[in-house]
Amino acid sequence: MNATLTPQALRHKIRRGDHTGNTSGLAPGHVQCNIVILPTNWADDFLRFCQLNPRPCPLIAMAEAPGHYALPLLGDVDIRTDVPSYRIFRNGVLADEQTDVTALWSEDLVSFALGCSFSFEEALLADGLEVRNMSEGVNVPMYRTNIDCASAGPFAGKMVVSMRPFKAADAIRAVQICTRFPSVHGAPIHLGNPALIGIEHLAEPDYGDAVSLGEDELPVFWACGVTPQVALESAKPQFAITHSPGCMLVTDLLNSKMAVM
C-alpha cells in the first residue's frame, strides 16, 4: 500500500475492495474518522450522547438525512463502501464483519463520523515526540475507566481511554499540542496514577496491546473513540454498523485544519 495515495484515491481503492485492512499511517496529513451508523429512531439520542460527551465522541460530520450515504463535508464519500471493514451489531451484539454494507443499507440509517486519535498522534510525531504504540508497532492500549459518560436516552456507559507513556516534560508538551485539536479528542483527560480512573493493570488493556512504560515516564490517558461502541453495546439498538477497529474512514479534511489555533 502506497502511503502517499491521496485520500480520494485510497477511498476508491477501498471502495473497489482492494484494501480491507488498517488505515493507520495511510493518506498522511488527513483526518480519519470513527463511524457509527444507526436507525433513525436511535439517531437523536446518539447525537445527544455525542454532544454531551465531546471528548470521547467528537462529532465531525453526520449525514444530512436518514438514508443518505454521502458525507460531502468529508469528500466524495460513499459510507456504504468506503470503510475498509465494518462491524454489524444486532441488539448490541457483534454479529458480523463485512467490507461493504451496501446490501444492508436502508433509507432508515443515519451516519455519524467522529474524530480519531490518528490526527493528534500525527501532531505529536511532527513535534518530535515518540508515540510508543507506533514505535513498538502495535495497537494503542485502551482501557475501560470508572468515569461515567453523561447518558442520553439508552446511550450510557464508562469512558474508554487510550494510553501513551511520556516523560513529564513531553507529557506537558503533549497537553499543549493536543489542546489545539478538540475535534480529535483534544487534551488528555488524565495522567499519572491509573488507579485513580479505575484502571488496575496497565499491562492488561481491555482493547489493543500493552506497551512498555519506563520508570521515568507517566502514563497519559486520552478519551477514546471506542467509548461510543461501548455505549452502543449498552444501548442495544436492534441494528448498528461501525468501522472495525483501526479500519477508519479516510477523509479529505486536513489534520492541520482541525487545530483551533
Q: Is 168 in the site for a second copy (CB under 8 A)?
A: yes
Check the CA dihedral 164-168-169-172 and report its sign.
positive
Considering only the stretches 106-114, 148-156, 185-193, 238-246, report the one whose residues sit in contact with a second copy under the rule CB under 8 A: 185-193
**Interatomic CA distance for residues 68 and 156, integer angstroms:** 26
Cα radius of gyration rounded to whole Å, the chain: 17
**Interatomic CA distance for residues 74 and 60, integer angstroms:** 9
Binder of a second copy out of 41, 91, 146, 176 (CB under 8 A): 176
Residue 150 CB, nearest distance to a second copy (Å)? 16
- Grid look-up 493507520 returns 24
Residue 192 CB, nearest distance to a second copy (Å)? 5
The CA-based angle 140-184-256, given to 5 degrees, is 110
Q: Is 214 in the site for a second copy (CB under 8 A)?
A: no
Residue closer to a second copy, measured from CB, 107 or 215: 215
How many residues in the shown chain lie near a second copy by CB under 8 A?
Answer: 19
Residue closer to a second copy, measured from CB, 14 or 184: 184
Contact yes or no for 128/115 (Cβ under 8 A): no
Cell numbers at 42, concatenated: 436511535
Residue 194 CB, nearest distance to a second copy (Å)? 10
Binder of a second copy out of 65, 93, 103, 169 (CB under 8 A): 169
**Interatomic CA distance for residues 54 and 155, integer angstroms:** 14
Residue closer to a second copy, measured from CB, 139 or 227: 227
Binder of a second copy out of 6, 146, 193, 238 (CB under 8 A): 193
